[in-house]
Amino acid sequence: MRANRAAFEQLGLRPRMGVTRGAPSLGTTVLGTEISMPLLLSPVGFTRLLHRDGDVAGARAADAAGTLFTLSTMSGHAMEDVATAAGRPQWFQLYFVGGRPGAELLIDRARAAGFRVLVVTLDTQITGLRERDIGNGLYGLTKVTSRNVVRFAPQFVPHPPWLLDFARDGFRLEIANTSHLHPGGRPFALHEALTSMATHPPTWEDLAWVCQRWPGPVVAKGVLNGEDAKRAVECGVAALVVSNHGGRQLDGVPATLPALIEVLDSVGHEVEVLVDGGVRRGSDIARAVALGARAVMAGRAWAYALAGGGRAGVSRILEMFRVDLDRTLRLLGCDSVASLDRSYLTIPAWDR
């Protein structure tokens, strides 16, 4: 996680003077869809715990800002509710909860709900060792029992607005999209869904199968090197997200910006390549796009904004990204996102 940020900070900017005139053009396209700036929202599981409007708020804010939202399989909201919240088709992120049969049901449901792009996350063979989640008792928070009320009281009591929000939502903790996958006919709890995913992580054969089954573009998320990028492209994906899951999976893997260079060298002429991990400012968007990314995605940025202010919070953070990207381009002396290239950067050696 720290390495992702450090890489952005090490990537220097190389401005041109005396050339900027009016407002730069920030729009671009991703997989044929026009977006207002090259920033999409990454899938973040169970945002309903951050704010009761969760992914519905995220999708509405992204849509209002003219960009795209990616809904996690692990959402607290049913995918149909999120799909209808946004004005145009969004992206759905697939985990193999329940193996291939489960994936098949999720794919068919996502298609019927109107999602256009399917994002297959490859880096979650098992969840990483998230020591803060263990310390905070996240995996014990599966339902509201009197034992849990006592156990979590020291965390809940200092946060009355959050507790009120959670209570108004009816203390909802289930993974809504898994309602039709559980043998008992009820949605999985978080820890059950994580266990089920870990039993059936997708292989390359599974990715190729998804590409056959999904009628629209498929995106592979979690690729960190050129060989895997080639394998994914052979399977039929239309785009890749270079991602280390925001540093939440295998500690010690490369930061995403150096990995982006390797992936672009390998398949950049064949498919669109996006990147996420550590995107916090508009200038980060400019850096990644200048390096060659089609667009960036951000996870924590919108999740924290949601926790702080619901839908208005997510809209605010998207506006901050837009304003900062605009300012960065003017200061770089670059009139559009489309004109950004490596001549605007000083690229460190990064051990390649």
Ligand X SMILES: Cc1cc2nc3c(=O)[nH]c(=O)nc-3n(C[C@H](O)[C@H](O)[C@H](O)COP(=O)(O)O)c2cc1C
Stretch that binds ligand X, among 96-104, 147-155, 275-283, 332-340 (CB under 6 A): 275-283
Q: Does 285 contact ligand X by CB under 6 A?
A: no
Could you give the string, one character per residue 89-128, with x where binding to ligand X holds by CB under 6 A and - elsewhere? ----x---------------------------x-------
**Residue 144 Cα distances to 50, 99, 110, 166, 205, angstroms:** 16, 29, 30, 11, 40
Q: 245: helix, coil or strand?
A: helix
Cα(125)–Cα(295) distance, integer angstroms:
26
Could you give the string, one character per residue 302-321, with x where binding to ligand X holds by CB under 6 A and - elsewhere? -x------------------
Angle at 74 between CA 238 and CA 181, to 5 degrees: 95
Contacts of 352 (CB under 8 A, 6+ apart): 258, 261, 262
Contacts of 46 (CB under 8 A, 6+ apart): 54, 72, 74, 75, 76, 175, 190
Contact present, 328 and 282 (Cβ < 8 Å): yes
CB of 343 to ligand X, least distance (A): 27
Q: Does 76 contact ligand X by CB under 6 A?
A: no
Q: Which residue has the tokens 């009820």?
A: 186
Cα(39)–Cα(67) distance, integer angstroms:
7
User: Ramachandran region of residue 218, left (φ > 0), alpha (ψ -120 to 50) or beta?
Assistant: beta
Could you give the string, one character per residue 11-50, with x where binding to ligand X holds by CB under 6 A and - elsewhere? -------------------------------xxxx-----
Q: With respect to ligand X, which residue has the nearer C-beta, 121 or 196? A: 121
Task: Supply 317's token pair.
Answer: 């953070």
Q: With respect to ligand X, which residue has the nearer C-beta, 93 or 328? A: 93
Residues forming a β-bridge with 117: 91
Contact present, 290 and 340 (Cβ < 8 Å): yes
Cα(275)–Cα(319) distance, integer angstroms:
20
Cα(130)–Cα(248) distance, integer angstroms:
7
Q: Does 178 contact ligand X by CB under 6 A?
A: no
Q: With respect to ligand X, which residue has the nearer C-beta, 76 or 277? A: 277
CB of 317 to ligand X, least distance (A): 11
Q: Does 276 contact ligand X by CB under 6 A?
A: yes
Q: With respect to ligand X, which residue has the nearer C-beta, 166 or 334? A: 166
Q: With respect to ligand X, which residue has the nearer C-beta, 230 or 300? A: 300
Active centre residues (catalytic): 245
Cα(185)–Cα(192) distance, integer angstroms:
13
Q: With respect to ligand X, which residue has the nearer C-beta, 124 or 266? A: 124
Residue among 76, 278, 310, 313 that touches ligand X (CB under 6 A): 278
Q: Does 191 contact ligand X by CB under 6 A?
A: no
Residues forming a β-bridge with 174: 189
CB of 23 to ligand X, least distance (A): 27
Q: Compute, in degrees rounded to 10, the torsion defined by CA atoms 77, 79, 84, 88.
A: 130
Q: What is the DSSP string of 248-265?
A: TSSTTPPPHHHHHHHHHH
Q: Does 281 contact ligand X by CB under 6 A?
A: no
Site for ligand X, residues 248 to 267, rule: CB under 6 A: 248
Q: Does 207 contact ligand X by CB under 6 A?
A: no
Could you give the string, one character per residue 211-250, with x where binding to ligand X holds by CB under 6 A and - elsewhere? ----------x---------------------x-xx-x--
Residues forming a β-bridge with 75: none
Q: With respect to ligand X, which residue has the nearer C-beta, 26 or 118? A: 118
CB of 257 to ligand X, least distance (A): 12
Task: Supply 209's token pair.
Answer: 């199968």
Residue among 67, 72, 90, 266 that touches ligand X (CB under 6 A): 72
Applying CB under 6 A, the site for ligand X has a residue count of 23
Q: Which residues bind ligand X (CB under 6 A)?
A: 4, 42-45, 72, 74, 93, 121, 221, 243, 245-246, 248, 276-279, 298-301, 303
